[in-house]
């Protein structure tokens, strides 16, 4: 199974929440997630992510998770493996010994909900903005582009103001730190919600 997702920068959180409520989709309480991202030695931002195994340590309410993600046809189509670990610092040191380097910290508040087989995440990412992320687990042979367009079409049907981005949070945070705009900041209707942002998906 693979995780396929789409991500939208959201303008107007209350409008989004109302649109979800009309669909019978209710988000849970806000939870803070403290993520540290890792990349293999020799990989740099701007390099392709496709086929590369990236690691993450996440802490939520004192519990820690280790995750491996390997993008397939694009950065939002990933093989994913995840397990809970007891000691974040020990796992951090082990990751460095594996030949990885710590890239960026992604701190965000997340609310989650479900719509059938789709998981929805409303994320407020420190230093970057507010995003709606839709995820679906699919068989290994499912075409990622088709699934992503179906997810994007659902967002467009909500009638909210949102801008789709092909980037992952680590890349968006790194770009924000460097003062590079990677998500359009102008108000845009979701007439364009089913089209990818012009930035590179790496």
Q: What pLDDT is stored for residue 183 in this prediction?
A: 52
Encode 134-170: b = buried (16+ Cβ within 10 Å), e = exposed. bbbebeeeeebeebbeebbebbbebebbbbbbbbbbb
User: How far apart, in whole angstroms, are the C-alpha atoms of residue 162 and residue 196?
Assistant: 12
| Pair of tokens at residue 105 | 């910290």
The per-residue pLDDT for range 65-99, each reduced to its tens digit, is 999 999 999 999 999 999 999 999 999 999 999 99
- Tell which wins on pLDDT, 2 or 134: 134
The per-residue pLDDT for range 35-61, each reduced to its tens digit, is 999 999 999 999 999 999 999 999 999
Task: Find how far residue 123's CA is from the centre of its chain.
Answer: 9
Domain ranges across the chain? 2-192
Cβ pair 121, 112 in contact under 8 A: yes
| Pair of tokens at residue 152 | 């994007």
Confidence category of residue 181, pLDDT binned at 50, 70, 90: low
Mean pLDDT of 148-176: 95
Taking 80 as the threshold, does the pLDDT of residue 198 lie above it?
A: no
User: How far apart, in whole angstroms, are the C-alpha atoms of residue 24 and residue 192?
Assistant: 24
- Tell which wins on pLDDT, 195 or 141: 141
User: How far apart, in whole angstroms, are the C-alpha atoms of residue 60 and residue 88?
Assistant: 11
User: How far apart, in whole angstroms, are the C-alpha atoms of residue 184 and residue 164?
Assistant: 9
Q: Hunting for tokens 């909210």 — which residue is that?
A: 160
Phi-psi region at 24: left, alpha or beta (left = phi > 0; alpha = psi -120 to 50)? left
CA dist list (Å): 123 to 63, 90, 94, 129, 166: 19, 28, 29, 8, 16
Residues in Cβ contact with 42 at an 8 Å cutoff, skipping those fewer than 6 apart: none
Cβ pair 30, 109 in contact under 8 A: yes
Q: What pLDDT is stored for residue 137 in this prediction?
A: 95
Q: What pLDDT is stored for residue 10 in this prediction?
A: 95
**Coil vs helix vs strand at 32:** strand
Fold of domain 2-192: Hypothetical Protein Pfu-838710-001 (2.40.320)
Q: What is the mean pLDDT of the chain?
A: 90
């Amino acid at each position: 199974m693979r995780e396929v997702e789409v991500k939208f920068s959201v303008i107007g959180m209350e409008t989004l929440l109302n649109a979800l409520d009309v669909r019978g989709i209710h988000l849970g309480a806000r939870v803070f997630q403290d993520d540290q991202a890792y990349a293999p030695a020799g990989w740099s931002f701007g390099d392709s992510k496709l086929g590369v195994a990236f690691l993450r340590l996440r802490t939520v309410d004192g519990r820690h998770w280790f995750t491996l993600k390997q993008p397939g046809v694009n950065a939002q189509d990933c093989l994913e493996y995840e397990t809970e670990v007891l000691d974040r610092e020990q796992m951090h040191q082990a990751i460095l010994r594996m030949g990885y380097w710590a890239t960026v910290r992604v701190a965000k508040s997340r609310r989650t909900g479900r719509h059938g087989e789709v998981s929805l995440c409303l994320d407020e990412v420190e230093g970057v903005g507010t995003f709606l992320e839709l995820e679906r687990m699919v068989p290994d042979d499912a075409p990622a582009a088709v699934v992503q367009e179906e997810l994007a079409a659902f967002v467009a049907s909500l009638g909210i103001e949102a801008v789709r981005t092909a980037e992952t949070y680590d890349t968006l945070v790194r770009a924000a730190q460097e003062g590079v705009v990677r998500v359009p900041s102008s108000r845009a209707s979701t007439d364009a919600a089913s089209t990818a942002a012009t930035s590179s998906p790496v």
